[in-house]
Homo-oligomer: A and B are copies of this chain.
Amino acid sequence: MSERPFTLPFDPTGIVLDRRQGLSRQLYQALRVRVLDGRLGSGSRLPASRDMAAALSLSRNSVVRAYDQLYAEGYIESRVGDGTYVSQLPKLSTKVSTGLSLGFSTGLSTKTAINTEDSSSKVIHSGPLGRLENHHLPPPKSGSPRAFRVGLPAFDLFPFDVWAKLQAGFWRNPDPAALGYGDPAGEPQLRELIATYLRRSRGLSCTAEQIVITSGAQQAISLCAQLLLEPGEVVAVENPGYRAAGNAFALTGAKVQGVAVDHEGLDCAALNAVEHCRLSYVTPSHQYPTGVTMSLARRLQLLAWAERKDGWIIEDDYDGEYRYSGDPLAPLAALDRSGRVLYVGTFGKIAFPALRLGYLVLPRQLVQAFSRCRALAVRHSEVGTQAVMAQFMARGHFQRHIRRMRKAALSRRNTLMAGWPEGISGIRPLPHVAAGLHVTVRVDSLALERVLIEQAESVDVEINGLSDFWLPDSDASEDERAGLVLGFAAVPEAAIKAAVQRLAEVWGLSRN
């Protein structure tokens, strides 16, 4: 017994422990590394815990804890009446992580050792990963809103105090029944309120049973892609159009076919000519990004197309609430009697995008499938957001806020139109803006588009190029694709006024 320190079956002197950190965890790591890299071979005997403790000046407790963890994870085993040995393990690949990367000894850097060069340099170019490589876009602009960011409503006017109170009210005493797994189609009360809103304010006949809550319009589109498309099938999209929808379709392996848009909306003659296509994606209220409203004739032709093809139409009504004369237009779905239209709505353009709350209004025969698909995709949406939005609607805040937002967007539109620098060479006249949160102005050439955007950026004004909204293989020439897309609702009037003044200066100086 007395000679034990001199016959330690394993020499622990290489183990250096940082006294400021958890010691048993470090010892566990150090021994684990040695088992995995072979320094402690299968069958090696480990010192008894008291000897290891003495050798490393540790408490015996720390050693026991480290041994326990190694034992629980299968690195070591004990033989009754004998001692502790390294387990018999399969021949190890040299690539198995030795845990050296864990940084326990320094507690700091973990970056260097995590990845091996051969894995990070692996090139992925087939299948869904490859398709994604070919169908991604720069992410939407982030940071504080500024003129003229696209896609943002006037959320500086959102009643955050009301929202905060409703959130606190929900969470202080939530119903336990709401905290487990919920209905994948969404909270029943919220669906009921949305259906009522759509019937009363949008002329869209529907019931709560047809509504599936989504994480914003994007998830609605993504679910459509997953459920209605197979690899190799064709989906028709507006061109120019909402590229994030096209990319969601492309990810499934479907072929995305652009269809031209004219002053009446989607060119239905061109759509009819697309072969093997049974799904189309449109923005009839306010085409994204051109701003055209689809004519009634085209709506009827589009519905006839879907019936003839036994197909589906996705109607993305992303900003249909914003109409500056009279009521919002009735959606295409309100004309659909044969269950062909999947209507996409969102709270992102009334409240704010980061809420990630939207919905689908589905033909009855698709409701169950979408609900099941959503269960497999995300189970359901976070419960608090749904419950609080239901309260927000039930107490009348939502309808009040829509009116407030419409008025604000109108005023901001007017500010943009009043201050817009007309007559700059190469920029066509600003069109009348009857709806929505953005306006598209054509310019004479792609080169000019790029220069104007760059100059705008130089005076802290954000403008999107219309050319970015076209599919890569469009028929239109480069210069036909050129234009400026300006969101006018993101910032208050004063900031808009200042921004158009800066634009007038930077564009005027350089162009005239």
Measured between alpha carbons, how far is A180 from B177 in the docked complex, in Å? Answer: 32
Is A186 close to B, CB under 8 A?
A: no
Measured between alpha carbons, how far is A168 from B165 in the docked complex, in Å? Answer: 6
Residues of B within 8 A of A436 (CB): none
Segment at the B interface, from A65-73, A437-445, A501-509? A65-73
Measured between alpha carbons, how far is A269 from B152 in the docked complex, in Å? Answer: 55
User: Which residues in window 120-154 of A have CB below 8 A to B?
Assistant: 120-122, 124, 127-129, 132-133, 136, 139-145, 149, 151-152
Is A182 close to B, CB under 8 A?
A: yes
Measured between alpha carbons, how far is A122 from B84 in the docked complex, in Å? Answer: 68
Known: A177-B143, A180-B353, A297-B74. A378 touches B167 (CB 8 A): no
On whether the beta carbons of B93 and A384 are closer than 8 Å, the reply is no
Is A352 close to B, CB under 8 A?
A: yes
- Interchain CB contact (< 8 A) of A180 among B25, B99, B152, B299: B152
On whether the beta carbons of A96 and B155 are closer than 8 Å, the reply is no
Residues of B within 8 A of A287 (CB): none
Q: Mark A6-36, 1 if CB is under 8 A from B, else 0.
A: 0000000000000000000100010010001
Is A488 close to B, CB under 8 A?
A: no
Measured between alpha carbons, how far is A98 from B375 in the docked complex, in Å? Answer: 34
- For A172, the closest partner residue in chain B by CB is B164
Measured between alpha carbons, how far is A164 from B354 in the docked complex, in Å? Answer: 19
On whether the beta carbons of B180 and A296 are closer than 8 Å, the reply is no
Measured between alpha carbons, how far is A49 from B54 in the docked complex, in Å? Answer: 101
Is A179 close to B, CB under 8 A?
A: yes
Is A75 close to B, CB under 8 A?
A: yes
Measured between alpha carbons, how far is A163 from B174 in the docked complex, in Å? Answer: 11
Measured between alpha carbons, how far is A407 from B440 in the docked complex, in Å? Answer: 60
On whether the beta carbons of A128 and B229 are closer than 8 Å, the reply is yes
Measured between alpha carbons, how far is A307 from B68 in the docked complex, in Å? Answer: 30
- For A376, the closest partner residue in chain B by CB is B248
Q: Quote the shortest CB–CB distance from A241 to chain B (angstroms).
A: 15
On whether the beta carbons of B97 and A205 are closer than 8 Å, the reply is yes
Is A276 close to B, CB under 8 A?
A: no
Q: Quote the shortest CB–CB distance from A401 to chain B (angstroms).
A: 14
- Interchain CB contact (< 8 A) of A144 among B144, B176, B205: B176
State the number of copies, please: 2
- For A354, the closest partner residue in chain B by CB is B383
Is A101 close to B, CB under 8 A?
A: yes
On whether the beta carbons of A364 and B114 are closer than 8 Å, the reply is yes
On whether the beta carbons of A378 and B222 are closer than 8 Å, the reply is yes
Is A60 close to B, CB under 8 A?
A: no
Known: A92-B300, A199-B110, A338-B119. A128 touches B230 (CB 8 A): yes
On whether the beta carbons of A301 and B90 are closer than 8 Å, the reply is yes
Measured between alpha carbons, how far is A377 from B220 in the docked complex, in Å? Answer: 9
On whether the beta carbons of A95 and B337 are closer than 8 Å, the reply is yes
Residues of B within 8 A of A141 (CB): 180-181
- For A387, the closest partner residue in chain B by CB is B354
User: Which residues in window 231-261 of A have CB below 8 A to B?
Assistant: 231, 244, 247-248, 251, 253
Measured between alpha carbons, how far is A450 from B170 in the docked complex, in Å? Answer: 39
Q: Which residues of A contact B (CB under 8 A)?
A: 25, 29, 32, 36, 65, 68-69, 72-75, 87-90, 92-93, 95-99, 101-103, 110-111, 113-116, 118-122, 124, 127-129, 132-133, 136, 139-145, 149, 151-152, 155-156, 160-161, 163-165, 167-184, 199, 203, 205-207, 210, 215-216, 218-219, 222, 226-231, 244, 247-248, 251, 253, 295-297, 299-301, 303-304, 307, 323, 325-327, 329-330, 334-339, 352-357, 363-365, 369, 372-373, 375-385
Other 19 A-B pairs with CB < 8 A, given A155-B176, A356-B379: A75-B296, A92-B300, A98-B337, A99-B203, A110-B207, A114-B207, A114-B364, A116-B338, A119-B339, A127-B228, A128-B230, A132-B376, A142-B180, A142-B183, A164-B172, A218-B375, A222-B377, A356-B382, A384-B385
Smallest CB-CB A-B distances: 4 pairs: A74-B296, A119-B339, A164-B171, A140-B181
22 of the cross-chain contacts (CB-CB < 8 Å) are: A73-B330, A87-B297, A89-B297, A93-B300, A99-B334, A128-B227, A128-B229, A132-B227, A139-B181, A139-B375, A142-B182, A143-B177, A144-B177, A167-B168, A215-B215, A222-B376, A231-B231, A248-B377, A356-B379, A357-B382, A381-B382, A382-B385
